[in-house]
């Protein structure tokens, strides 16, 4: 069901931040978040440190009125929240930060970065699809694999949403970890 990784691609350990990232794309409600949540423990069991980046068009983090929100409203460009088992750092910017900047910030602490979104980025993409398959493939040429709970005919590797190990192994191989 999967195809071998490109043998001309160098091992992931020597790649730039963007080259150790895979974007999971698909329409809202398609199962991207659930798929990432299943992949995370699988990659951890493989010994990989994984970071997740979620791209959003909404800037409300649900903390309106809380202290951290108030600090930002008062002019702080960087706000940190720390507690037992938690360090959250929020950096405020006047516009959407460039993907390369965000990946570079995450890369030193991760072997692999799973990105939810950034449909138009140059990152390789795993598309979570259904009946809208045609639009997704024509809109995003960097799609390297498909995930669908419905039968799909494609020249690309196709995985069922619960084929976590198979999809994880495909991603590892694609990025040169195998």
Q: Could you tell me if residue 72 is inside a domain?
A: no
pLDDT at 15: 38
Place 57 in a pLDDT band, splitting at 50, 70 and 90.
Answer: confident
pLDDT at 8: 37
In three-state secondary structure terms, 17 is helix
Q: What is the DSSP string of 114-165?
A: EEE--TTSSS-EEEE-STTHHHHHHH-TTEEEEE-SS----SS-EE-TT-HH
Buried residues in 124-156 as b, exposed as e (16+ CB within 10 A)? bbbbbbbeebeebbeebeebbbbbbeeebeeee
CB 107 within 8 A of CB 99: no
Q: Could you tell me if residue 6 is inside a domain?
A: no
Q: Could you tell me if residue 87 is inside a domain?
A: no
User: Percent of the chain beyond pLDDT 90?
Assistant: 43
Q: What is the largest CA-CA distance in the chain?
A: 53
Spatial distance between the Cα atoms of 3 and 155, rounded to a whole number of angstroms: 10
Residue 83 has pLDDT above 80, yes or no: yes
Number of domains in the chain: 1
Domain that holds residue 108: 12-58+96-174
pTM here? 0.81
**For 49-59, what is the mean pLDDT?**
85
**For 43-72, what is the mean pLDDT?**
84
pLDDT at 18: 58
What CATH number should be reported for the domain holding residue 163? 3.40.50.300
**For 122-140, what is the mean pLDDT?**
71
Q: Could you tell me if residue 74 is inside a domain?
A: no
Q: Could you tell me if residue 79 is inside a domain?
A: no
Q: Could you tell me if residue 111 is inside a domain?
A: yes
Q: Could you tell me if residue 91 is inside a domain?
A: no
Spatial distance between the Cα atoms of 13 and 81, rounded to a whole number of angstroms: 31
Q: How far is CA 39 from the centre of its chain?
A: 11
Of 38-42, 59-63, 149-153, which range is least confident? 59-63
CB 124 within 8 A of CB 23: yes
């Amino acid at each position: 069901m999967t195809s071998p990784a490109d043998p001309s691609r160098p091992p992931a350990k020597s790649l730039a931040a963007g080259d150790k990232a895979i974007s999971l794309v698909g329409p809202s409600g398609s199962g991207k978040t659930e798929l990432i949540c299943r992949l995370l423990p699988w990659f951890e069991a493989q010994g990989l440190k994984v970071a997740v980046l979620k791209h959003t068009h909404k800037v409300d983090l649900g903390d309106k009125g809380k202290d951290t929100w108030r600090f930002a409203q008062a002019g702080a460009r960087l706000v940190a929240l720390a507690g037992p088992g938690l360090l959250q750092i929020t950096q405020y910017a006047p516009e959407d930060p460039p993907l390369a900047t965000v990946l570079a910030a995450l890369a030193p602490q991760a072997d692999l970065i799973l990105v939810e979104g950034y449909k138009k980025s140059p990152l390789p993409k795993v598309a979570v699809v259904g009946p809208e398959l045609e639009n997704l493939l024509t809109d995003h040429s960097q799609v390297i694999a498909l995930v669908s709970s419905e039968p799909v005919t494609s020249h690309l590797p196709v995985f069922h949403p619960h084929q976590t190990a198979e999809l994880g192994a495909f991603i590892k191989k694609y990025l040169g970890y195998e």
